[in-house]
Amino acid sequence: MSKIEKMAERAWEKDIIVEKLLEESTLTLKQLKALLLYSDNMEQRIVKNGYVEFDGKKVPKGAFFRILSQAKKNVRRSVITLIMMAYLGLMDSNQFSAIMQITGIMMQIKEQDEGLTDSLLEKLKATIDVRKREK
């Protein structure tokens, strides 16, 4: 298992924020690992004969890139969904600002307080909640 995969696995097992965000996201753990591996200089990870060291084993390059493609598609769709929500007036700039503030706080408190993490995640869900448009 590569260093980046170990980091992703540790993040899933020990970082409550990653664990809870992943549960609510459109990504699977494998897709998250693929994105992390890809962002960590993928070219060095391709083994001779067209295999990739992934998830603790040699995986055919095609299978890995299929997982990676699914992950990228899920991320792209999530971002486009947010843009569409803003365009239709179902989310506003205050909600996006609150999302960024909550994200910043989460990055600062990594693994410090599970209760605070839970309340931040609930605040995040409430912030993202679709509201009625004012006419």
Has residue 57 been placed in a domain?
yes
Which regions of 36-77 does DSSP assign to beta strands (E)?
A: 46-47, 51-54, 57-60
Identify whether the C-beta of residue 24 lies closer than 8 Å to the C-beta of residue 127: no
Has residue 78 been placed in a domain?
yes
Has residue 117 been placed in a domain?
yes
With a CB cutoff of 8 Å and minimum separation 6, the contacts of 121 are 17, 20, 21, 24
pLDDT tens digits, 97-128: 888 888 888 777 766 666 777 777 787 777 77
Contacts 24+ apart (CB under 8 A), 57-65: 64/34
Identify whether the C-beta of residue 91 lies closer than 8 Å to the C-beta of residue 130: yes
Residue 81: which of 91, 94, 71, 72 has the closest Cα? 91
pLDDT recorded at residue 43: 62
Under-70 pLDDT residues of the chain? 1-14, 41-48, 110-114, 130-135
pLDDT recorded at residue 53: 84
Q: Please count the structural domains in the chain.
A: 1
Has residue 134 been placed in a domain?
no
Boundaries of domain holding 80: 3-128
| Residue whose structure tokens are 């569409």 | 84
pLDDT recorded at residue 108: 77
The answer, as to whether pTM is greater than 0.75, is no
Q: Maximum distance among all alpha carbons in the chain?
A: 61
pLDDT recorded at residue 12: 53
Identify whether the C-beta of residue 16 lies closer than 8 Å to the C-beta of residue 111: yes
pLDDT recorded at residue 41: 65
